[in-house]
Structure 1
Amino acid sequence: MVMDAYRAAIIGCGRPGQGGFGIAYAHARAYTACPRTTLVAAADINAENLQAFCTTYNVRGYTDYRTLLERERPDIVSICTWPPLHAQMTVEAAEAGVRAIWCEKPMALSLAEADQMLAACAAHGAKLQINHQRRFAPAFQAARELIQSGRLGTLVRLEGYVPEWDLLSWGTHWIDMMRFWNDDRPVAWVIAQVDCRKRTRRYGHLVEDYAVTYFAFENGVRGFLEVGEGCTETVGLRILGTEGMAVIQGGALRARPQGVGEWIEIAAAGSGEQAFLRALEDLIASLEEGREPLLSGYSARATTEIIMAAYESAYWRERVTLPLEVRDFPLSRLVQAQDSSPNRPSDRQV
């Protein structure tokens, strides 16, 4: 059914100008920029954050998201809370009759949670979109077109680097992009090692301090991702083909394609705001056309599976084949095993 305007609401307001803690403001700007949506309400357990958000966007505020769902009956809901809350809130939004759910990444902290989200949305006819919005950014789309053009030869390897972050918080973007560039082909196996000696927590859950992940797609393309405090590379991605290579840094795409002896700029850095808006527009189109959005929950589950396989590989210290059978959060299990090990060194430097 095509509607003139969709009523939207946001769960989890956060704080403006605080990076991931203020991601709801990026969602709100997309809703206000889109002529097909009207932002009507927001929910947050922090009264100060809620008031600031509602004042900025002139919307009604709720300290209980369930009350928002019951009273406002929104068509689209953004879930911008911390990852441990994603599954429960997505399930309840779908059960409340929300037609489209735009959930922040990472999708979930286990495949069991991811499957709960997908099952609830399927049962209630809701579209689920996970915010890997860089698929809509011009430079990242230009990179995909460059690969498909054959100007780099046959795709061989994709690399990603993120200093000072982790697989779930930022690595999920790079793994998703590698899948996007390789036409979302399945991954066959994953091998990884992680360092979590500091027991760091971010956005309400355990994260590693450093991780190196290597994986193979079924078509032979390899993926490599280094994240965390041990990474000395600049944030970015590399594409290696048999006849050329390309790099994305700072959101801009440079390449040295086949037959070109020097680096050339292919696409400048685009607006992050535009990527959010295009993601929202595609979500609306998926509702009206009866298809999955480009940032579908099913696609995000595949990315989540690779991350969980990396943690599972670190736990067993061996290569893990997909599909992954474990349903829990392997990183938590790894830390528990380390804490209970009588052979754990006590004098290692952190």
Structure 2
Amino acid sequence: MTAVRVAVIGCGSIAKHRHLIEYDLQPGVEITAVCDIVEERAKAAAEKYGATAYTDYETLLKEEEVDAVSVCLPNYLHAPVSIAALEAGCHVLCEKPMATSREEAQQMIDAANKNEKKLMIAHNQRFVPSHQKARELIEQGEIGKIYSFRTAFGHGGPEGWSVDGKDSWFFQKEKAFIGAMGDLGVHKADLMRYLLGEEFTEVAGFVESSAKEGSDVDDNAVCILKSASGVVGTLAASWAYSAKEDNSTVIYGEKATLRLEDDPNFSLVAQYVSGEVVKYELGGIQTNDAGGQTTSKVIHHFITSITENTTPPIDGEDGKKSLEVILNALESAETKRICG
């Protein structure tokens, strides 16, 4: 079988530390082209991976014969560039949040369907071993009826991760659209939909911009979510956890409580009402911290969906539903009403 030819559009930190590395490790993949408006970044990536460098994505899509594209750009460009790539006949892996509105998300879905191409959204939390094991236990009825949960994703902010530091587009509303909620909160919205196996019908959001000077996007938020079956819980997303990253989830059930990424030594701890405690060592969660996990498995699943002609595990419809949770939280914060 011929190699899957890939182009990575956007050569910032997420491309450098995730997409390019993982494509390079994936058998049967050839990184054909890279693109960034900062020419030095594009050239550096092209030299490292033996690709052709571009500074304009439209030129890349016109001149290169590629099978798949990773969109690793500021949030406001996710939809237009994804749609352009789909229209050019490419499968698309788009970073989260997939779009800045429901309308944009639907346009991406429609473009994928019209051109019969794969559209996957890079929600990597589903592939964390502790999260997959927790879903397995829930599906097997190990914890019984689920009553509540709390989930959080917070760190000191994207300035420590973004290639542009404090000048990053993450802090610019016209480019980012949303801040910590789009960077981190949407990951947890997707994770809880995955774990519970149902949708959230009511959302209340409390959203603040208080931790980052000179920024006009949210940097600290707490949401209350209610699922279709009546499971209620909280979701926190923050760029104000300056001392230590928190990427934990706790699920409270009839028979047991599951603690995911909440213990420093065990990635999953199941505490049963009988008093039994089961501790799982399943490997660490992916993190931006030095020395952390670097393989998200997103690229593997994306390429597999192409080579085996299967539906990506997080397709456009899934991405839109997770985005809608965050959009409802923002609307709730603005209107002071519960949204859904």
TM range (shorter): 0.7 to 0.9
Give secondary structure in 2 for the equivalent of 1:267.
coil
Distance 1:54 1:230 in 2: 35
Distance 2:280 2:127 in 1: 19
- Identical positions, percent: 31
- Does residue 26 (structure 1) correspond to residue 9 (structure 2)? The answer is no
Contact preservation (8 Å) 1:24, 1:80: no
Seen in structure 2, the aligned counterparts of structure 1 residues 77 and 315 have a Cα distance that, compared at 3 Å, is same
In the TM superposition, residue 97 of structure 1 has moved relative to its aligned partner by 1.1
Residue equivalent to 2:4? 6
Q: Deviation digits for residues 124-162 of structure 1, max 9, x if unmatched?
A: 111110100221221211111122222222222221123
Counterpart of 2:230, as a letter, is G
Counterpart of 1:179, as a letter, is R
Residue equivalent to 1:111? 102
- Does residue 84 (structure 1) correspond to residue 82 (structure 2)? The answer is no
Seen in structure 2, the aligned counterparts of structure 1 residues 260 and 23 have a Cα distance that, compared at 3 Å, is farther
Residue equivalent to 1:294? 313
In the TM superposition, residue 227 of structure 1 has moved relative to its aligned partner by 2.1
- Which residue among 233, 241, 245 is the counterpart of 1:223? 233
In the TM superposition, residue 180 of structure 1 has moved relative to its aligned partner by 0.4
Contact preservation (8 Å) 1:159, 1:238: yes
- Does residue 174 (structure 1) correspond to residue 172 (structure 2)? The answer is no
In the TM superposition, residue 288 of structure 1 has moved relative to its aligned partner by 4.7
Seen in structure 2, the aligned counterparts of structure 1 residues 162 and 150 have a Cα distance that, compared at 3 Å, is same
Give secondary structure in 1 for the equivalent of 2:296.
helix
Give secondary structure in 2 for the equivalent of 1:275.
coil
Counterpart of 1:207, as a letter, is V
Distance 1:48 1:223 in 2: 45
Q: Deviation digits for residues 55-91 of structure 1, max 9, x if unmatched?
A: 2212110111111111112101001111111011011
Residue equivalent to 1:316? 335
In the TM superposition, residue 231 of structure 1 has moved relative to its aligned partner by 6.4
Distance 2:68 2:132 in 1: 26
Give secondary structure in 2 for the equivalent of 1:85.
helix
Distance 1:181 1:34 in 2: 27
Contact preservation (8 Å) 2:130, 2:268: yes
Distance 1:238 1:156 in 2: 11
Contact preservation (8 Å) 1:151, 1:258: no
Give secondary structure in 1 for the equivalent of 2:328.
helix
Alignment of 1:116-131 (within 5 A): 116-131=107-122
Distance 2:39 2:107 in 1: 30
Distance 1:200 1:114 in 2: 30
Residue equivalent to 1:275? 296
- Does residue 236 (structure 1) correspond to residue 234 (structure 2)? The answer is no
Residue equivalent to 1:133? 124
Alignment of 1:243-282 (within 5 A): 243-249=255-261, 252-262=267-277, 264-265=279-280, 267-269=282-284, 272-276=293-297, 279-282=298-301
Q: Deviation digits for residues 164-200 of structure 1, max 9, x if unmatched?
A: 45111011111111010012x1221111111135787
> Gapped runs of 5+ residues in structure 2?
158-179, 287-292
Residue equivalent to 1:45? 37
Distance 1:287 1:264 in 2: 36
Distance 2:199 2:55 in 1: 41
Q: Deviation digits for residues 32-73 of structure 1, max 9, x if unmatched?
A: 111121111101110111122112212110111111111112
Show structure 1 runs of 4+ deviating over 4 A.
197-202, 229-233
Distance 1:77 1:229 in 2: 29
Residue equivalent to 2:147? 156
Counterpart of 1:280, as a letter, is I
Seen in structure 2, the aligned counterparts of structure 1 residues 58 and 260 have a Cα distance that, compared at 3 Å, is farther
> Gapped runs of 5+ residues in structure 1?
15-20, 322-350
Distance 2:337 2:241 in 1: 22
Distance 1:72 1:230 in 2: 42
Query: Rg larger in 1 or in 2?
Result: 1
Counterpart of 1:133, as a letter, is N
In the TM superposition, residue 122 of structure 1 has moved relative to its aligned partner by 1.3
Contact preservation (8 Å) 1:133, 1:295: no
Contact preservation (8 Å) 1:160, 1:225: yes
Counterpart of 1:72, as a letter, is E
Seen in structure 2, the aligned counterparts of structure 1 residues 218 and 61 have a Cα distance that, compared at 3 Å, is same
Q: How many pairs are equivalent?
A: 306
Counterpart of 2:45, as a letter, is F
Distance 1:172 1:5 in 2: 32
Give secondary structure in 2 for the equivalent of 1:176.
helix
Seen in structure 2, the aligned counterparts of structure 1 residues 281 and 231 have a Cα distance that, compared at 3 Å, is closer
